[in-house]
Homo-oligomer: A and B are copies of this chain.
Amino acid sequence: MPDFAEPLARLITEFKRLPGIGQKSAQRLAFHVLRAQREDAEHLAQALLDVKDKLGLCRVCNNISDTDLCLYCRDNQRDEKLVCVVEEPHNIIGIETTRQYEGRYHVLHGSLSPLRGIGPESLRIKGLVERIGEGRIQEVILATNPTVEGEATAVYLARLLKPLGVKVTRIAMGIPVGSDLEFADEVTISKAMEGRREM
């Protein structure tokens, strides 16, 4: 590692702690900051702190929010009969970019993982059961990830929620649009076959 002046070395180290940023990217970012206006560095520094200080979780759905109720829970245009359950707040972004979904959300903040000691009590499931208890929710869409943990979470939630009298559905797994069967793994293909629909 070449020698950098201490403040520069420290900024490179801090950038490297971010996900997906290696030594070279961290150096490029640090040198960019070095050349940029002090104002730009200030704005980024302030934004970093504000995210830690001004954001909390929505009282209803546990989404990230700077207000008591998040954007989606506040929005009366959204269908309160429909709740989409996701693992993390950023999963909402993926669903929102489709512009297709008009229901509410519920964020678990994790998935079941017995190996890592994450049981149902570590997830925000209680609030979901309470919401269903209020009687307005008709369908719960389980949009946890198609991983072992996400799948286990979905199975657990389905068993827990069905007796409460709501419809519980799981998002479809299959070949991604625009992809090629050639590049799909066998588990994905078998899920795609299982989930086939009449045309």
Could you tell me if A32 and B18 are in contact, using CB atoms closer than 8 angstroms? yes
Interfacial residues of chain A within 1-48, with CB under 8 A of chain B in the complex: 2-8, 10-11, 13-15, 17-21, 25, 27-34, 38, 40-48
Question: CB of A148 within 8 A of chain B?
Answer: no
In the complex, whether A70 has a CB less than 8 A from a CB of chain B is yes
Which B residues are in CB contact (< 8 Å) with A14?
43-44, 47
Contacts of A33 in B (CB 8 A): 18, 48, 51-52
Residues of B within 8 A of A60 (CB): none
Whole-angstrom CA separation of A44 from B13 in the bound complex: 9
Within 8 A of B (CB), among A58-72: 64-67, 70-71
